[in-house]
Structure 1
Amino acid sequence: MTRSKTWIDNPSTPRFVPPPGAVDAHVHVFGPEADFPFSPKAKYHPEDATPEMLFALRDRLGFSRNVIVQASCHGTDNAATLAGIAKSNGAARGVAVVDPDIGMDELQRLHAGGIRGVRFNFLKRLVDHAPKDKFLEIARQIEPLGWHVVVYFEADLLEELMPFLEAIPTIVVVDHLGRPDIAQGPDGRDIAAFKALLDTHPHIWTKVSGAERLSIHGPPFDDFVEVVRPIVEAFPDRVLWGTDWPHPNMEHRVPDDGTLVDVIPRIAITEELQRKLLVTNPERLYWRA
């Protein structure tokens, strides 16, 4: 399997200065492979992207903290994510991917290591099997820990997943707005269905991230801003933001992280909205205990 690099070593310095305590709430660490091998089932094989590299980027972009999300290439072995959290000196928390038969002792161990949520991935190009019944069992197990569920899917699966999302007893965070077709515009079918989901289910949040993946036109991501700004304004207490560094599977469209940060004041146009997006909301999920 070919190793691929998907980030810029020297991203631009953003014009936007995040507020004190700001959290980049969606990042990954990969390897180093010599210490943390990739899953035999991995669908992609990235270059090493270490915690030290992540924290250097965090400082360059002006953030204070990170949420490290377990990536599919590491499967259900969360060792690399836990190691990244441990090296952060309290400035990182994590989201794990776990085996369906996980027990409370292992969940408690993950909690002690800084994990505060589990991720369920429904992208067929990344995972072979996504058992909703087993996922609901996991969601019930993590509820007493105060964790939440992160769900990754594409827009064409939303209707099918509705009963599953409604049955989850914890807060649900949808990655990258459920990957709508941005070309449809702010009133398009995909984003309208997603806004209806948020309107009717107050336990569902979303990450208003992924401009580099969702924009049709690319930087400065005007089409993404047009679609996403109304969501931030309508649901200010249920939105998170992240760079998605090191941008897995973006070999043909490697983004500049500084440019991504400069999207923030265009989707959250007031200081109050920016603070909720980057500080208050992620603190509620990741640093309350």
Structure 2
Amino acid sequence: MTKTLKTSAPPLDEPRSPAMQLPPGSCDAHVHIFGPFDRYPLPDDRSFTPALAPESALRRWHERFGFERCVIVQSQGHGYDHQPLLDALRSGAGRYKGVALVRPTDSDATLARYDEAGVCGARFHFLAHLGGRPDLNAIREVAARIKPLGWHLAIHVAGDDIAEHADFIRTLDVPVVIDHMARPDISSGPDGVALTALRRLMDTGRVWVKLSGADRLSKTGAPFHDALPIARSLAAHAPERVMWGSDWPHVNLHGPMPDDGDLVDLISSIVPDEGDRRLLLVDNPAQFFGF
């Protein structure tokens, strides 16, 4: 029987311009790209079908908003075909870094090719719709492989899974970043199980958090103000270990497509202090990703 794949909606063609002005050197620390599909066909074993969102479209909206850098994260939409990512990194001429999907069986030559292009991390999903929980031993193997390259691990979990896997994350001997604030249930509030575990991981000094995905956490919709207590609690707890990402082009959403202007304007509410905003958008990603 042929598997029916969910098809993601495209991002908004014309997001509104945000009221907030970004500081020079700002980095969008979490985006994906897809296509052009005539050049980069989608693999048959993908877990969903993305909408067209090529690097050229990403670059246009970043230039309009004022982002000078970004981190392109390989997605299950293109699976283990990293050619779209590698080509984008080379065309970015230093303004992009990449995060790959890495398997223990990938050769040293493959990792060296990724590293030369600008990849600086490996990502693992713990979500059912993206393949389910990976083998923890496989993550350990990959961590050992990427450590000499100076890469980090990106962990994508949801709900209280961050608490379940906190002890394992502490054993990883490479820097770790948690995507999308660990996607907690915001009804549990900043002092719930997930956020408490996440802050304790940040206290190790080796775990960073992306303050991305407010639209995924929100229960009330745009402008996503109900997600503010979660994001603020993390930003205030360790301002030197948080980064911001748009999550463009917002794949696998169940509700309306968010306006990136709303998401950018939310930054000033998450981090009201101008100095801390520079940490969030400029200094922290420059240090963590090696810009």
Other-structure match for 2:75: 71
Return 83-92 or 172-181, whichever deviates more: 83-92
| Deviations 1:231-259, CA, capped at 9 Å, x for gaps | 11211111111100000012532000011
Return 256-265 or 244-253, whichever deviates more: 244-253
- Corresponding letter in the other structure for 2:72: I
Q: 1:265 aligns with which of 262, 268, 282?
A: 268
Describe the SS at the equivalent of 2:30: strand
Return 87-96 or 253-262, whichever deviates more: 87-96
Alpha carbon RMSD of aligned pairs, Å?
1.5
- Corresponding letter in the other structure for 2:157: F
Describe the SS at the equivalent of 1:87: helix
Is the 2:163–2:194 Cα contact (8 Å) retained in structure 1? no
Other-structure match for 1:278: 281
Identity of aligned residues (%): 39
1:28-177 pair list within 5 angstroms: 28-128=32-132, 130-177=134-181
Deviation at 1:129, TM superposition (A): 5.8
Return 6-15 or 249-258, whichever deviates more: 249-258
How far apart, in 2, do the equivalents of 1:187 and 1:160 lie?
Answer: 16
How far apart, in 1, do the equivalents of 2:210 and 2:31 lie?
Answer: 12
Is the 2:242–2:280 Cα contact (8 Å) retained in structure 1? yes
Return 161-170 or 112-121, whichever deviates more: 161-170
Deviation at 1:280, TM superposition (A): 0.6
Q: 1:241 aligns with which of 240, 244, 264?
A: 244
What are structure 1's unaligned runs of at least 5 residues? none
Q: 1:255 aligns with which of 255, 258, 272?
A: 258
For normalisation by structure 1, the TM-score amounts to 0.94
Is the 1:6–1:250 Cα contact (8 Å) retained in structure 2? no
Q: 2:21 aligns with which of 10, 17, 24?
A: 17
Distance 1:233 1:160, change over 3 A: closer
- Corresponding letter in the other structure for 2:234: I
What are structure 2's unaligned runs of at least 5 residues? none
Describe the SS at the equivalent of 1:41: coil
Describe the SS at the equivalent of 2:77: helix
How far apart, in 1, do the equivalents of 2:37 and 2:164 lie?
Answer: 36
1:181-192 pair list within 5 angstroms: 181-192=185-196
Describe the SS at the equivalent of 1:34: coil
- Corresponding letter in the other structure for 2:191: D
Other-structure match for 1:230: 233
Deviation at 1:188, TM superposition (A): 2.7
How far apart, in 2, do the equivalents of 1:193 and 1:90 lie?
Answer: 35
Deviation at 1:187, TM superposition (A): 2.4
Is the 1:185–1:223 Cα contact (8 Å) retained in structure 2? no
- Corresponding letter in the other structure for 1:203: R
- Corresponding letter in the other structure for 1:63: F
Is the 1:28–1:245 Cα contact (8 Å) retained in structure 2? yes
Return 8-17 or 149-158, whichever deviates more: 149-158
Deviation at 1:114, TM superposition (A): 0.7
Is the 1:182–1:227 Cα contact (8 Å) retained in structure 2? yes
How far apart, in 2, do the equivalents of 1:61 and 1:220 lie?
Answer: 18
Is the 1:76–1:99 Cα contact (8 Å) retained in structure 2? no
Return 261-270 or 250-259, whichever deviates more: 250-259
Describe the SS at the equivalent of 1:46: coil
Return 29-38 or 277-286, whichever deviates more: 29-38
- Corresponding letter in the other structure for 1:14: P
Return 123-132 or 252-261, whichever deviates more: 123-132
1:212-223 pair list within 5 angstroms: 212-223=215-226
Deviation at 1:42, TM superposition (A): 1.4
How far apart, in 2, do the equivalents of 1:55 and 1:123 lie?
Answer: 29
How far apart, in 2, do the equivalents of 1:77 and 1:163 lie?
Answer: 32
How far apart, in 1, do the equivalents of 2:6 and 2:208 lie?
Answer: 35
